[in-house]
Amino acid sequence: MAAVVRDGDVFVDLLDPTRKMVASDRTGIMSLVSSRHLTAARVEIWALESSVQSDGDRDWLVCRAGAIKLKPIPEDICEGPGTDMIMTYGGFSIALAVMLLATLANWRSSIYLAVVRKSSTPFSPETSLRVHPHHVLTAAVEHTIPDRGVKVSAGGLG
């Protein structure tokens, strides 16, 4: 049996017992009215003042045992893992399989990174086991450093 909120019931913040609100039904809609203007965002947990008790010498309150009756948790939820995660597990499995297949299919490919410090003539790396790629990864670099007089625009697809 849940508690019924009536006009004039006092609510207290469990985290700061000095903050209180009163239930009001003056507009036809039940709402909580505070006498203070709150200037900052904060975490608040409100409960009926008649259903809370102090937690020993601590600065917060707790709900009294048996003051609020909650519905029991359905037993079928507690029995084991449900089928609600099948889509998630399936998606991760497919993504992992695609990454693994892409890695296996391109295991002999290489990506060469060149750091340009000054102007030079282009050259290709010398390797004995060079494999000519079937696809090319292209990147564009546009960089400007006015203090050093650097203006670079390289690569691109267009």
> What pLDDT, in 10s, does the model give residues 48-79?
888 888 888 888 888 877 666 667 766 665 56
Q: Which of 17-26, 31-40, 143-152: highest mean pLDDT?
A: 17-26
Query: Mean pLDDT across the stretch 25-44?
Result: 76
User: Please, are residues 144 and 151 in contact by the beta-carbon 8 Å criterion?
Assistant: yes
Query: What is the mean predicted confidence (pLDDT) over 10-30?
Result: 84
Distances 128 to 97, 125, 131 between C-alpha atoms, Å: 32, 10, 9
For position 66, what pLDDT does the model report? 67
Whole-structure pTM value:
0.40
Q: Which two tokens stand for residue 77?
A: 């939820």
CA dihedral sign of residues 50, 56, 58, 63: negative
Residues across the chain: 158
Which has more pLDDT, 99 or 121?
99
